[in-house]
Each structure stands twice: as C-alpha cells, then as structure tokens.
Amino acid sequence: MVGALNLHYIEQGTPSDHERPLVILHGLLGSADNWRSALKAFGRDRRVMALDLRNHGRSPHAQDVGYEALAEDVVATLDSLNIERFDLLGHSMGGKTAMLLAQRYPQRVARLIVVDIAPVAYQHGHRREFEAMQAVASAAIESRQQADEIMRRHIDDLATRQFLATNLKRDGDSGQLRWRVGLNELIDGYAEIAAAPEAGGNADVPTLLICGRDSNYVTPQGVEAMRALFPKLEVVTLNTGHWVHAQDFKAFKATVDQFLEGA
C-alpha cells in the first residue's frame, strides 16, 4: 500500500491464532490511550487492540487526512502483525474509518461496530477546539494549568479541556508542553474529516450502530444512509451523549459483548 503508515498501537489479552482480535479506532483528537480502561475490560476475555490513527497519539503525521488513507494505514498495520481477520470498532472519526475499511475489505471484517456516527457529511465544527489548541501552541507553556488557563478563554467546558489536554506531551529538550497531534494537518484537512467516507457499494458485514440518546450525531436519515451501505445493521441506543463508551461503559461493554458473541 503506497503511502500507508505503520501505526502505533496498544493491546491487551493473549494473542491466539484461532481468535479474532477486536480492533478499536478512536475519534478526532483522541488516541489509543483514551481506551486503556476499555482494553483492560475487554482484554479479560479476548485479544483487543487500540490504534493511534495518523496525526494522533504516537503515530506518524501526514498531510492526507482522508478516510481512504486512514483505512489503508489500519490495514497495513494489521498486515504487518499477520492479522487477517478481525472485529472492528470505531468511534466518531474512527467509526467513519471503520465503515470505509469494511466496505473495501469486507472479507477481513468479521463484525463491525460503529459508535455514534453515520456515513454522512457533518456540519459539526471544531473551531473552538482548534483555536484553543493553536493558542496553546503559540505560547511557551510548562504546566497543564497554564494550558488550561489558555484553553479556558475559548472553551468553557472543563471536560472538553481535559480531553484535549490528553494530547499534551513534554518536549525532552525544552521541557515545554507541546501537542502531539498533527494540529496543522488536521486543521488543513478538516473538510475531509467532516465529509462522508466515500467507498462505493455496500458491505455484507454484520454491523452494530451504537447511538447516544442525547447526541445529535446520528439522525434517522443517518441511520438509513448506514443501512443502505450495511444491510445487516442493528441499532442500539444508550442513555448517553456522544461519548458513549465513557459515559456508560457498563452498558456499552454489555452491548458490544452481546453483539460479538453472536458471531
């Protein structure tokens, strides 16, 4: 795969030649690290992996942020690990990546789980988040408190600021805190991130869509758009917002386990 990147990943559980791993893809400005608690829980019963998508976490940065590139990175990374068939779970941007991957490689995805996103273009903006992160990037900060004070000028919600702060890392030379995400790449390519993942055709893959009841990311029209691409679609709505897995992990895990046990 020309141009595909080898992604950083973390995993839990015992590798097995006869068991399909569960592969998890995070959302925009997230990382595999956000899923560590989930990995520990799912890893008690199976092998589970969380990948850092390009421009996120510890994975390389690249200018192309389109879903085709993101999906090919995932496939190339799993190829390097000799993982042929797997269950795939993606949240938000990771869910769009997972959908495109399943459409392109349906023979490799045993079961697909998409969390609170649909295969449509979105008008949701991340302008405040990007402005806050750019303000931090332009300052020489040495503490998370300093970063939070700067971000608070743009974002009132503490939980959002804390989530963004998970992307800060300390520079070994200067000792200053810097963003580990490819911030400029994500800003420049944001229109592609907001767009629908275009793959063409549908995928005959058992698929579960988990929605948050208080989220506006998945409309009835979004469900129908997804059903047109994934005819074997089941839909479950949990009493959460967009961060389904963080806001009610017990119900989220039970829903995922039940779906995977049907394989």
Strand-pair partners of 68: none
DSSP string, 96-159: HHHHHHHHH-TTTEEEEEEES--SS------HHHHHHHHHHHTS---SHHHHHHHHTTT---HH
Is 242 known to be catalytic? yes
DSSP reduced 3-state for 217: coil
Count of residues for the chain?
263
**Contact between residue 114 and residue 212 where contact means Cβ atoms under 8 Å apart:** no
Integer Cα distance of 68 and 29 in angstroms = 18
Is 92 known to be catalytic? yes
**Contact between residue 93 and residue 119 where contact means Cβ atoms under 8 Å apart:** no
- DSSP β-ladder status, 177-179 and 86-91: unpaired
Residue 165's closest CA among 188, 146, 140? 146
Residue 196's closest CA among 52, 100, 64, 70? 100
**Contact between residue 109 and residue 87 where contact means Cβ atoms under 8 Å apart:** yes
**Given the residues 26, 56, 242, 245, the one annotated as active site:** 242
DSSP 42: H
Neighbours of 206 (CB within 10 A): 19
**Given the residues 31, 59, 92, 215, the one annotated as active site:** 92
Residues with a known catalytic role:
92, 242
